[in-house]
């Protein structure tokens, strides 16, 4: 709920001021995962599930990345993808050799899984979506 309130406040605040930039940094620091968020992007929560949260990384009306935070991810979402284990609690789903989904997993703590996927909107830059998705992992 706290993240939702912060995200709502950020959506209404102009991002040109130093105070707004500090608020954006605080909102990102409060997320249950780490992310390298480019300027002008927001992380917005969807309605919360019983034991999970889904977030969207957006810039304006364009969607870039989805993030599931919980313990029972549907990975990969598309069964035709090739899945590779990368070690360190990471699996990657590939389409034509390009990562399109990531699954971080661990034994203890909450969340135990982070499922990250590319969901590029009509006017979104796929290269930026790739960089954002690759930057996501468990918060320290």
Q: Would you state the structure tokens that stand for residue 27, as one six-digit string?
A: 């909102």
Mean pLDDT, range 29-33, rounded to an integer: 85
DSSP-derived secondary structure for 31-76: SSEE--PPTT-EEEEPPP-SS-EEEEEEETTEEEEEEEEES----S
At 29, is the pLDDT very low, low, confident or very high (cuts 50, 70, 90)? low
The pLDDT tens digits for 85-134 are 999 999 999 999 999 999 999 999 999 999 999 999 888 899 999 999 99
Query: What is the side-by-side strand order in the sheet with 98-105?
Result: 42-45, 53-59, 62-70, 113-118, 98-105, 90-95, 82-85
Q: How many distinct structural domains can be found in the chain?
A: 1
Q: Is the pLDDT of residue 20 over 50?
A: no
At 28, is the pLDDT very low, low, confident or very high (cuts 50, 70, 90)? low
Answering whether pTM is above 0.85, one says no
- Round the average pLDDT of the chain to a whole number and report it: 84
Full domain range(s) for residue 56: 2-138
């Amino acid at each position: 709920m706290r993240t939702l309130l912060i995200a709502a406040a950020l959506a209404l605040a102009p991002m040109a001021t130093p105070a707004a930039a500090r608020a954006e940094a605080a909102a990102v620091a409060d997320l249950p995962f780490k992310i390298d968020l480019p300027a002008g992007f927001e992380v917005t929560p969807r309605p919360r599930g019983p034991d999970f949260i889904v977030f969207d990384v957006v810039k304006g009306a364009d969607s870039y990345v989805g993030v599931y935070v919980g313990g029972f991810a549907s990975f990969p979402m598309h069964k035709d993808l090739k899945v590779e284990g990368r070690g360190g609690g990471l699996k990657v789903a590939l389409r034509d050799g390009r990562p399109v989904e990531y699954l971080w997993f661990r034994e203890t703590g909450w969340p135990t899984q982070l499922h990250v996927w590319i969901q590029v909107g009509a006017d979104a830059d796929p290269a930026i979506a790739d960089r954002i998705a690759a930057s996501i992992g468990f918060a320290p």
